[in-house]
């Protein structure tokens, strides 16, 4: 039996590092369905989760997988699933159920080329907008994008902490390249890892309201079977959790599930910058493409082009302020991503026409070469 936190230095893939991050964060339930290139996360969890008295279940499909994750969370354990494009599509309805029922959990999407079955063994970043709006209705979501196996280890812990704190599904939007790439991963001592668990209710069990928000806009959450009155539904519901089909209740519920995110942007949003202080051109990127972009920025600086990198760690909620502030002082933007312009349009929206903005995109299947970014930096400005 091995411990939850495998303190040590490893050469491991992003997929394996993700699974180890989940265990370190306290994840004790994995419900999934194998799909390239996310299978190794399920595989690692199947091997490792019995070591920590957790439960692994391979469901009949991704619809069932997502449902099992929500159920496990209401059973009181931190839970997750991992998938790729086609499975992510199938999970969308139940991700919406997780948002509506304010259920903490983590969903990993190891992105591959799409649409449809697409390129199963090759990477892409084409599901970024699906992550934002893939389930029906209006809602807020948290999505984060790691750039290395080491970072996916840490960000998986962050994803669990955010999901527990704000009671919602948190999406880890990684890609095949990081998922299958091996690199050095340092797992720290268990005592150095900060984990957050959902706030537990206090007071009379019979008067408990599972959707009455606490001070930060989030309601405490008991587990099913602890004696609190619980009614959990995807229908529009009041603070008691009972369905109420009127405009007032809809408005109240929608405010609750959107404002708990909107009011805490400073706590949720993380970006990383490189040589941005004196930059004239801001390169905006995330995930594996941010690594490419950093190589391009270094190369451009050697040529005398004042480029800098804004790496988006949090994708949703979108770091609007960070982009707006940059737009007031740089001469232009370049977005780099393995799709044909999804986050690019978000950046464009925030830049609001103040300065020119260009896309270095790719339809999917490989990494964007730094030379393409350098060429854009040289020619566009």
Partner 1 sequence: MTDSQNHTQRKKEIIITGFGGQGIILAGIILGKAAAIGEHMESTLVQSYGPESRGGSCNAQVVISDEIIHYPYVSHPDILVCMSQSGYDKQIKQIKENGTLIIDQDLVHPARGLKCDFFSIPATGMAEKLGRTMIANIIMLGFLTAVTEIISMDAAQKAVTESVPKGTEKLNTKAFKKGHDYGLATLKGRQKKAAGQAGAIS
Report how many residues bind partner 1 under the rule CB under 8 A. Answer: 22
Determine how many CB atoms are found less than 10 A away from the CB of residue 117. 10
Ramachandran category for residue 352: left, alpha or beta (phi over 0 → left; psi -120 to 50 → alpha): left
Instruction: CB nearer to partner 1: give 165 or 291.
Output: 291
Instruction: CB nearer to partner 1: give 182 or 255.
Output: 182
DSSP conformation class of 263? T
Ramachandran category for residue 116: left, alpha or beta (phi over 0 → left; psi -120 to 50 → alpha): left
Contact 80, 105 (CB under 8 A): yes
Find the binding residues for partner 1 in span 298-317 (CB under 8 A). Answer: 298
From 69, 173, 294, 326, residue interacting with partner 1 (rule: CB under 8 A):
294
From 234, 369, 372, 380, residue interacting with partner 1 (rule: CB under 8 A):
369
Distance CA 273, CA 284 (A): 9
- Using the contact rule CB under 8 A, the part of the chain among 174-182, 199-207, 337-345, 354-362 near partner 1 is 174-182
From 117, 121, 233, 250, residue interacting with partner 1 (rule: CB under 8 A):
121
Contact 355, 327 (CB under 8 A): yes
- Using the contact rule CB under 8 A, the part of the chain among 126-134, 177-185, 210-218, 261-269 near partner 1 is 177-185
Q: Is 245 exposed, middle or buried (0-12, 13-18, 19+ CB in 10 A)?
A: exposed
Q: How far are the Cα atoms of 24, 163, 332, 339, 372 from residue 191, in angstroms, in the given order? A: 10, 21, 44, 40, 43
Instruction: CB nearer to partner 1: give 27 or 338.
Output: 338
Instruction: CB nearer to partner 1: give 244 or 367.
Output: 367
Query: Does residue 273 belong to the site contacting partner 1 (CB under 8 A)?
Result: no
SS3 358: strand
From 366, 372, 380, 381, residue interacting with partner 1 (rule: CB under 8 A):
366
- Using the contact rule CB under 8 A, the part of the chain among 51-59, 81-89, 95-103, 363-371 near partner 1 is 363-371
Query: Does residue 207 belong to the site contacting partner 1 (CB under 8 A)?
Result: no
Query: Does residue 14 belong to the site contacting partner 1 (CB under 8 A)?
Result: no
Q: How far is the CB of 332 from partner 1 (least distance, A)?
A: 22
Contact 140, 257 (CB under 8 A): yes
Sheet holding 271-274, edge to edge: 271-274, 307-312, 281-285, 332-337, 357-361
Query: Does residue 78 belong to the site contacting partner 1 (CB under 8 A)?
Result: no
Residues that bind partner 1 (CB under 8 A): 9-11, 36-37, 120-121, 177, 180-184, 291-292, 294-295, 298, 366-367, 369-370
């Amino acid at each position: 039996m091995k411990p939850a936190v495998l303190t040590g230095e490893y050469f491991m893939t992003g997929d394996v590092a993700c699974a180890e991050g989940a265990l370190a964060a306290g994840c004790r339930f994995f419900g999934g369905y194998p799909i390239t290139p996310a299978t190794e996360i399920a595989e690692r969890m199947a091997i490792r989760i019995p070591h920590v008295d957790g439960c692994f279940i391979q469901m009949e499909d991704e619809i069932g997988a997502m449902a099992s994750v929500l159920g496990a969370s209401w059973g009181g354990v931190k839970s997750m699933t991992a998938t790729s494009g086609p499975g992510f599509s199938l999970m969308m309805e139940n991700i919406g159920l997780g948002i509506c029922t304010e259920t903490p959990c983590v969903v990993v999407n190891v992105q591959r080329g799409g649409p449809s079955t697409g390129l199963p063994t090759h990477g892409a970043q084409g599901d970024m907008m699906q992550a934002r709006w893939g389930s029906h209705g209006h809602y807020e979501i948290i999505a984060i994008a790691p750039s290395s196996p080491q970072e996916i280890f840490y960000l998986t812990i962050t994803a669990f902490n955010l999901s527990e704190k704000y009671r919602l599904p948190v999406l880890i939007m990684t890609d095949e390249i990081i998922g299958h790439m091996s690199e050095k991963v340092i797992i720290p001592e268990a005592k150095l890892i900060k984990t957050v668990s959902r706030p537990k209710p206090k007071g009379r069990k019979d008067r408990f309201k599972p959707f009455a928000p606490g001070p930060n806009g989030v309601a405490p959450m008991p587990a099913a079977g602890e004696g609190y009155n619980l009614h959990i539904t995807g229908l529009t519901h009041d603070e008691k959790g009972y369905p109420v089909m009127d405009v007032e209740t809809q408005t109240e519920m929608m405010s609750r599930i959107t404002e708990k995110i909107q009011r805490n942007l400073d706590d949720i949003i993380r970006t990383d910058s490189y040589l941005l202080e004196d930059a004239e051109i801001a390169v905006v990127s995330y995930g594996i493409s941010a690594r490419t972009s950093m190589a391009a920025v270094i190369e451009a600086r050697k040529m005398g082009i004042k480029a800098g990198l804004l790496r988006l760690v949090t994708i949703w909620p979108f770091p609007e302020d960070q982009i707006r502030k940059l737009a007031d002082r740089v001469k232009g933007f370049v977005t780099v991503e393995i799709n044909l312009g999804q986050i690019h349009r978000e950046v464009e929206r925030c830049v609001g026409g103040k300065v020119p903005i260009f896309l270095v995109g790719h339809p999917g299947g490989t990494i964007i070469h730094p030379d393409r970014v350098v060429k854009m930096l040289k020619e566009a400005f």
